[in-house]
Structure 1
Amino acid sequence: MRPSRGGRGVLAGDVALPARPSRLAVRALSAAVVVVVVLAFWSVDIQWGRLSDLPSEVVRYLGLMFAAPEWSKLPEALWQTWRSVAMAWLGTVLGILVATPLSLLAARGHGPAPVRGALRLLFAVIRAVPEIIIAIVILSVTGLTPLTGALALAVNGIGTLGKWGYEAIEGIGPGPVEAVRAAGGSGTQVLRWGVWPQVLPAFGSFWLYRFEINVRSSAVLGLIGVGGIGDMLTSYTQYREWSTVGVLLIVVVVVTVAIDAASGALRRRIMEGARARAVQP
């Protein structure tokens, strides 16, 4: 065994062994991550001494909220929760109506390259802006109404549904698409008969998952006064009526978990189909 010329490796007989890869880039990246983490902790004004009081404070507030909940507020809490769910549903439907055709155009092989690039950039920009910022912009036109929250959820949903949509389209099998084209089908017919039947189950799953996200986001949007359970939570929290806040949190958790469970079951049924049942002889 002898070193090769130029120090690029080691010769073992007539076989050149590769040189050991340099780990300089990995070490530099690790050092950069450490520096960023340290600077993040250094720049945030964290009162570390108060962390020791956190467990006792959490227990105290949990007692204030759930020791004696104000159940007389339950009907109003259910009504405001329904408004939040309706806001989420409307935002989801509007997002689907806009994002679905745009995702078809943004998919590779189904839309012009300039259009694809513009739509993908649009989806990325929308996803970079939180719903609450979008709602603040929209409320200057529509005011503090549930419609503002629904429109904000719809706009944000266009970014996520559009991205999920064109990625699903680009992952389908080429067989049906080629068959429609070989039969002389137009671009619209290719999308209708070659693409849409393949992506419909994935799209249905995406729509349900987006509805789940919108249900949770609608409560957050209520913090800026667009209505719903979040608006009610903000009001009673500001007045420190913790027994009412406890009832509101119970309603939010129960409704959200129920919607997530139902949506999850539907998504599994769409993607996996019905389970086969054993036939008794």
Structure 2
Amino acid sequence: MSTLTATPPRFSLAAPARPSRLRPTLTAIVVGLVVVIATANLGIDWNKLAEMPGELLRYGALMFDPPNWEKLPRALFEMWRSISMAWLGAILCVFLSIPLGILAAHNVGPVWVRIPLRVFFAVIRAVPEVIIALILLTVTGLTPFTGALALGIAGIGTQAKWVYETVESTPVGATEALRAAGGGVLEVTRWALWPAAAPALISFALYRFEINIRTSAVLGLVGAGGIGSMLSNYTNFRQWDTVGMLLIVVVVTTMVIDAISGAVRRRIMEGAKSHGMARSR
């Protein structure tokens, strides 16, 4: 009667091969060369870098030691115009980007609709708000309405991208159930995709308003009105104490709006999570 003996497993004691570092090294070299070439073509006077801290302190003292509060009422009015500009731009952007972004989602629109829309969004994202404002200035003139239109049009590219990415990431259970019951695109969008994506889309809309607040000040520098125009004028006149007051108004207003909008966005998302957990139970 023969007995079967188990052969013990053999373990290799050889050390594993070291991974190749050639690709990361070449990538680092290429990136470093690009940075060096780009920096060399900027014509930077490196000797002035040592003077920059002193210059910043000097201009800081001119602006804030102390700031001039005589123009505060007008600054608040112009800040309100910038907020109005940002709000109108956000409404226009959201009103257009939500339906267009939903159509660009792969689980909603056909390919002959999705591809042109996504190319359109990419083109808009490639054009800065200032360029759009300069183009609109020839049609609408130097008014805050120009700034609102520029903010609304420029935000469509990014906002619509957030919309279709959010719609594409929604759970597929409700969508498949509606399609199995014979629902079409409109029914699936209304009763499956929109309830799941609405909290995130509303949060993104508020975030667009926050972005527009900051951008509206920049658009004012090119004549679109608001606090940016006032800031540009007093900077050109070298009235640094008034410029310091304007900067304080811009920073404080932006921080307050960011805090309020952030609290609302957190409330929306936390409510959506709680609602989703309750439904899962």
Residue in 2 that maps onto 1:168: 166
Residue in 2 that maps onto 1:136: 134
CA distance in structure 1 between the partners assigned to 2:270 and 2:23 by the alignment: 43
Check if 1:95 corresponds to 2:130. Answer: no
CA distance in structure 1 between the partners assigned to 2:134 and 2:272 by the alignment: 43
Please give the residue correspondences for 1:67-86 in structure 2 after superposition, counting only pairs within 5 Å: 67-86=65-84
Tell me the alpha carbon deviations over residues 114-156 of structure 1, each in whole angstroms, 9 at most, x when there is no partner.
2111111111111111100111111111111111111111111
SS of the aligned residue for 2:70 comes to helix
Question: Which amino acid is 1:135 matched to?
Answer: A
Residue in 2 that maps onto 1:248: 246
Question: Which amino acid is 1:151 matched to?
Answer: L
Give the aligned length.
264
Say which of 27, 30, 35 aligns to 1:29.
Answer: 27
Say which of 174, 179, 198 aligns to 1:181.
Answer: 179
Tell me the alpha carbon deviations over residues 239-267 of structure 1, each in whole angstroms, 9 at most, x when there is no partner.
00011111101100110000000010011
Please give the residue correspondences for 1:190-269 in structure 2 after superposition, counting only pairs within 5 Å: 190-269=188-267
Residue in 2 that maps onto 1:108: 106
Structure 1's unaligned 5+ residue stretches are 1-11, 277-281
CA distance in structure 1 between the partners assigned to 2:79 and 2:44 by the alignment: 35
Question: Under a length normalisation based on structure 2, what TM-score does the superposition of the two structures give?
Answer: 0.89
CA drift at 1:26: 2.6
Question: Which amino acid is 1:140 matched to?
Answer: T
Question: Under a length normalisation based on structure 1, what TM-score does the superposition of the two structures give?
Answer: 0.89
CA drift at 1:25: 2.9
CA drift at 1:28: 2.2
Work out whether residues 89 and 151 of structure 2, in 8 Å CA contact, stay in contact via their aligned partners in 1. Answer: yes
CA distance in structure 1 between the partners assigned to 2:11 and 2:244 by the alignment: 77
SS of the aligned residue for 2:183 comes to coil
CA drift at 1:49: 1.2
SS of the aligned residue for 2:221 comes to helix
CA drift at 1:19: 6.6
CA drift at 1:22: 4.2
SS of the aligned residue for 2:23 comes to helix
CA distance in structure 1 between the partners assigned to 2:164 and 2:40 by the alignment: 41
CA distance in structure 1 between the partners assigned to 2:27 and 2:148 by the alignment: 42
CA drift at 1:183: 2.2
Please give the residue correspondences for 1:107-126 in structure 2 after superposition, counting only pairs within 5 Å: 107-126=105-124
CA drift at 1:161: 0.8
SS of the aligned residue for 1:218 comes to helix
Question: Which amino acid is 2:101 matched to?
Answer: S
Q: Percent identity?
A: 57
CA distance in structure 2 between the partners assigned to 1:181 and 1:274 by the alignment: 24
Work out whether residues 63 and 242 of structure 2, in 8 Å CA contact, stay in contact via their aligned partners in 1. Answer: yes
CA distance in structure 2 between the partners assigned to 1:18 and 1:92 by the alignment: 57
CA drift at 1:30: 1.5
Say which of 34, 43, 46 aligns to 2:44.
Answer: 46
Work out whether residues 199 and 272 of structure 2, in 8 Å CA contact, stay in contact via their aligned partners in 1. Answer: no
Tell me the alpha carbon deviations over residues 83-105 of structure 1, each in whole angstroms, 9 at most, x when there is no partner.
00000000000001110000110
CA distance in structure 2 between the partners assigned to 1:275 and 1:206 by the alignment: 16
Question: Which amino acid is 1:129 matched to?
Answer: V
Q: Give me the CA root mean square deviation.
A: 2.1
- Segments ≥4 residues shifted beyond 4 Å: 17-22
Structure 2's unaligned 5+ residue stretches are 1-9, 275-281
